[in-house]
Homo-oligomer: A and B are copies of this chain.
Amino acid sequence: MQKSFTLRTDQREALYDITDDVRKVVADSGVRTGIVTVYAQGATAAIMIQENWDDSVQRDVVHLLAQLIPKGVWEHDRQDGNGDAHLKAGLVGPSEAIPIIDGELGLSRWQNVFFCEFDGPRDNRPVVVTVVEA
């Protein structure tokens, strides 16, 4: 089973919690044991599993990546000025695979699934969720 949805992002760089969207696809699939892959279609976006106890870690992710990968110093910036966004997306990666255990998304208590926007805001960020039975 596979479902796509789109996300609207309202900042240049931010993390958006999509755990409930992924959980719904898993529930709809009826699969009891397997994996679900979450994929961000976009070369300046990514998927990260991260804590969601409060918003602080999500902002820390943005700040960490801004320190590691500064803006405006890349060869690609001569093309369209978003070299840092591509590098952040490539390093974090567009895909995560999460186990499905007893019909539920197999995250731990504090793990949530986040869409990482690195070159927003954008109106239509597609995410593809695929469920595979084990």
Q: CB-CB < 8 A to A54: which residues of B?
A: 76, 79
Would you list which residues of chain A between 58 and 104 have a CB under 8 Å from chain B?
A: 59-61, 63-64, 68-69, 74-76, 78-79, 83, 86-87, 89-99, 101
Q: A interface, how many residues as a size bin?
A: 35 or more
Nearest residue (CB) in B for A60 is B74
**Is A130 in the interface zone, CB < 8 Å from B?**
yes
Which secondary structure dominates chain A's binding surface? Answer: mixed
In the complex, are the beta carbons of B106 and A41 less than 8 A apart?
yes
In the complex, are the beta carbons of B35 and A130 less than 8 A apart?
yes
In the complex, are the beta carbons of B130 and A99 less than 8 A apart?
yes
**Is A33 in the interface zone, CB < 8 Å from B?**
yes
Q: CB-CB < 8 A to A108: which residues of B?
A: 41-43, 126
Q: CB-CB < 8 A to A75: which residues of B?
A: 56-57, 59-60, 63
